[in-house]
Structure 1
């Protein structure tokens, strides 16, 4: 399975990195921000550096939109997985347009409402994972995440 992992640096990167049991056996590529932590953690991985900051930065939104279009057309991943934040939106939108499955894993800190990036990406997401039952009640299309259940085999059985 070809997987594209898209995330901002910091906590978003940590969250997607903790899903290693899912992606470590996949043919994968990363899109994230270039920081000392991401550079060290992703040494030896296939990585494309996204433009940052993304908050209130229209130019970087356009740059990331072009990056998403270029990478997704070239690589044609089976699934694009993101934990946010702003860099997720252009990648999930274009991936959906090009026929890839799309997954957004909401932050564990979001208990009662989705993040802005999740709300913007929601129309383009095949599966939305949340960590809290309270959030699932508000967004019934969401699935409660259990990291042990997020495996390539499990993802293959999810009806998109």
Structure 2
């Protein structure tokens, strides 16, 4: 199984890195911002840089859509995992077109309100994970696995 882990640097990247017990023995690659925290954390990992800042930016969406097209066609992952933020959107939608399974993990600090990225990827996500039971009112198909932290 080949896994694509995609997310913003900082907390989203840390969130994905905490899933190491799952991904450590799998073929994988990362898509994140080309920033010092990401380069340091992923120094021994295969990483593709994406465009930032992404927050509510149509320009960033289309640039990252082009990056997603190139990366997904080259790598052909079986599974795409993300905890946000906006860079996940083009990867999830194109990933579904390419036959990838998708897993989205809504961030820990959202207890009863959705993130914009969560709302956008919810329709195409195979498994939508929340960390609070209250979030199942927001995302009815979600699975509550409790805290990842």
TM over 0.5: yes
Match of 1:112 in 2: 112
Cα distance between partner residues in 2 of 1:57 and 1:134: 29
1:7-156 equivalence runs, <5 A: 7-146=7-146
Cα distance between partner residues in 1 of 2:45 and 2:147: 22
Indicate conservation of the 8 Å contact 2:82/2:88, yes or no: yes
More helix by share: 1
How much has 1:137 moved relative to structure 2? 3.0
TM-score, structure 2 as length reference? 0.95
Cα distance between partner residues in 1 of 2:124 and 2:69: 15
Number of equivalent positions = 148
Indicate conservation of the 8 Å contact 2:130/2:146, yes or no: no
SS of match in other structure, 1:138: coil
Note the residue ranges of structure 1 that are not aligned, 5 or more in a row: 149-160
How much has 1:131 moved relative to structure 2? 0.3
CA RMSD, Structure 1 to Structure 2 (Å): 1.3
SS of match in other structure, 2:30: strand
Range 50-59 or range 123-132, more displaced: 50-59
How much has 1:146 moved relative to structure 2? 4.8
SS of match in other structure, 1:86: coil
TM-score, structure 1 as length reference? 0.88
Cα distance between partner residues in 2 of 1:65 and 1:41: 25
How much has 1:145 moved relative to structure 2? 1.9
Note the residue ranges of structure 2 that are not aligned, 5 or more in a row: none
